[in-house]
Structure 1
């Protein structure tokens, strides 16, 4: 039976944290910018390409980075903004891609296997990249290849803000002349061993048998051999890695004000429901947590029909709160958690039964995406 041609695209939001900061403040363009902790123990979470010219890289101690580039601009990071931009990119990819994996906040794999029967995979990926750039302003590099690993390496070769297509059958040729440290996982422990063996480029790996490499490096040696041949592959992990979405708030002062607590409960439920929809998820379980002034903590959860709707989650949260709350005890902390998350389940039925409601939430979330998560709130949460 004829096997469909495998195509995997790897998208990387270039220097993501810095790029978001530049969008917020265009004057930072082309300047050495560092995102991360500025105290003595701080590290560089991300740096601009201008900063990299000074030898700075992510995970470097901030103190050392500022020694290399004293004029660098240090920013603490806008992590809510990073999440918002990442969720927007996820939404665009989810609407367009037949299957995808969100590997991290700024990295995505898209499976286009067999789709060459309907369209040109390279042009489709170019068009999707441009759609994301137009919608978000973020620079994006991508690699397109027949495996996840080669697509990722191709992306690194395409940076900054470019793309590279490794055509089927050209995988081994593409890898051959690249330094061996281009392989993800070849770092400070593996690299000296390979160099001692005379392995400096990926093609050098093939001078040795898989068995000999395994003797030197264990099972990783066998994997390296298959990588060098261009045949190593791994499936997309399309299931959501996170098992739950939660939020909690510790109050500045302990309180017995039930109206205040219910207001906060509604706000938190709206927040986690919004995050749920941003990830195109449904929840089948809701939990409420209360911590009192003496640090006694109680929690209660219940299963529910799959939903992503505030108006279906809020009454459940309030019911659990009523069952847990002891009116005379001051509350220190309140929390809401959604679990039993699903990409599928009863989703089609849900959309068929509540098509108008789904469109309403889509419109609400569009406003929140543009103006912030608190741009629209239910009256009872104010």
Structure 2
């Protein structure tokens, strides 16, 4: 049976959400971001014409397109819209993978004889647009890689079908940057030997690629040849990461407990960013000395940054720890996870803060999760 894999991507998602609320913004150059010292979280196609891109410093973006309207962004509203789109698609397909807040993979294999996969996908895209007002693009092919590249070529508000016999003609003339796993370093390395088109890459000997870029060489060669057997993994918000700490002796030292929670959040956030997750549900758990266990949780806008999640954890701890009794255990859980390209909350972070997080993550990756941390996460003494 031939696979039928769809990649769907909401066009300029954050901008489109703002246009749902404010129709007068349609057709205007829009930048979503966090003030003068911040960076661009998203931008409209009207600003991209001038060279504005996501993650660009705001000052540079406004020099390129001074007419652009800057909006701080409302991640809570964007998260709500993301959930709405997810539910619309989930009800219509057998297998759905939510790849990030604004992109999805659908496995429609075997449904062609019932509906016609392309027609069925068109109806899903139309339903998203009709019920949310958000434009969405998609590509249908035999695997994730080709479908994702196809969606990029179809945008904005495009629809594309690439059947098995047309995969190579479709991929060959494209730049190797179009392959999802090709970052800037790999592109520069391959460019130096004249490999800039996917066809050239697909015709290289596999062992040469392995020598150049290591163990990922084979995978890159396969993708360049339109080969990808990665399955669509059923989306579930039950996924979570968590950590707990049982005290050697029951304690009532609130200051130490707050420091411990801060350290827990920092380690969990590093794991989120390392594995490219965003969380939308925060839970704090406590267990009293008499073994009574209580939890509090809150649904939040998608994020993976320490200072944002620390605030929620601190607030939940105050709400859940209401009895002046000693505690034997505390814990933190992040759930409602989705894979996210936006590893930082770009709406409130300055460029300096993003650089700080990236530097800390690099040190933790190299020397271990305990190599560097916030002072608030260290316990100086226990009682």
Using the size of structure 2 for normalisation, the TM-score is: 0.65
Q: Structure 1 stretch 54-63 or stretch 225-234: which is displaced more?
A: 225-234
Contact 1:287 1:299 in 2 (8 A): no
Contact 1:12 1:140 (C-alpha < 8 Å) held by counterparts: yes
Q: CA deviation at 1:22?
A: 0.9
Q: Is the 8 A contact 1:287 1:300 kept in 2?
A: no
Q: 1:29 aligns with which of 8, 14, 26?
A: 26
| Pair 1:225 & 2:218 matched | no
**Superposition map of 1:166-245 within 5 A:** 166-240=162-236, 243-244=239-240
SS in 1 for 2:123: helix
Determine the C-alpha separation between the residues in 2 that align with 1:322 and 1:242: 24
Partner of 2:373 in structure 1?
none
Q: Say which structure, 1 or 2, has more relative contact order (CA 8 Å, 6+ apart).
A: 2
- How many angstroms apart in 1 are the aligned matches of 2:335 and 2:89? 24
Equivalents in 1 of 2:239, 2:113: separation in Å? 36
Q: Which runs of 5+ in 2 are unaligned?
A: 243-280, 296-317, 338-383
Note the C-alpha offset of 1:76: 0.7
Residue 152 of structure 2 is matched in structure 1 by 156
Task: Tell me the residue number matched to 2:323.
Answer: 326
Verify the 8 A CA contact 1:56 1:68 in the aligned structure 2: yes
Q: Which of 25, 40, 47 lines up with 1:44 in the alignment? A: 40
Equivalent position to 2:124, from 128, 141, 149: 128
3-state SS of 2:104 partner: strand
Residue 4 of structure 2 contacts residue 108 of structure 2 at CA under 8 Å; is this kept in 1? yes
Q: What is the alpha-carbon distance in structure 1 between the residues aligned to residue 320 and residue 77 of structure 2?
A: 36
The answer for the alignment partner of 1:85 in structure 2 is: 81
* Aligned partners of 2:239 and 2:335 also within 8 Å: yes
TM-aligned CA deviation for residue 117 of structure 1: 2.2
Q: Is the 8 A contact 1:112 1:121 kept in 2?
A: yes
Alignment of 1:78-117 (within 5 A): 78-117=74-113
Measured after TM superposition, the shift of residue 232 of structure 1 is: 2.2
1:300 aligned partner: 293
Shift of 1:299: 9.1
- Is the Cα–Cα contact under 8 Å of residues 287 and 338 in structure 1 kept in the other structure? no
What is the rounded CA distance, in whole Å, between the counterparts of 2:102 and 2:294 in structure 1? Answer: 33
**Contact 2:98 2:235 (C-alpha < 8 Å) held by counterparts:** no
Looking at structure 1, the residues matched to 52 and 319 of structure 2 have their Cα atoms a distance apart, in angstroms, of 54
Q: Take 1:111 and 1:33, find their aligned partners in 2: how far apart are those partners?
A: 34
Asked whether 1:137 is paired with 2:133, we answer yes
Which residue pairs with 2:7 in the alignment? 10
Unpaired runs of 5+ residues, structure 1, are 247-282, 291-297, 303-320, 330-334, 342-382
Alpha-carbon contact 1:5-1:116 (below 8 Å) kept: no
Is contact 2:12-2:44 (8 Å) kept?
Answer: yes
8 Å contact kept, 1:205–1:228: yes
Q: How many residues of Structure 1 are paired with residues of Structure 2 in the alignment? A: 271
Partner-residue secondary structure (3-state), 2:234: coil
TM-score (normalised: structure 1): 0.65
The ranges of structure 1 where at least 4 consecutive aligned residues each deviate by more than 4 angstroms after the TM superposition are 286-290, 321-324, 335-341
Residues 238 and 336 of structure 2 are in contact (CA less than 8 Å); yes or no, is this contact kept in structure 1?
no
Structure 1 pair 118–327 and aligned structure 2 pair: CA distance change class (3 A): same
* Distance (Å, rounded) in 2 between the aligned partners of 1:230 and 1:238: 23
1:73 matches 2:69: yes
1:14/1:141 contact within 8 Å kept = yes
Give secondary structure in 1 for the equivalent of 2:164: coil
Matched residues in 2 for 1:340 and 1:198: separation? 44
Bigger radius of gyration among the two: 1
In 2: Cα distance, 1:66 partner to 1:129 partner: 33
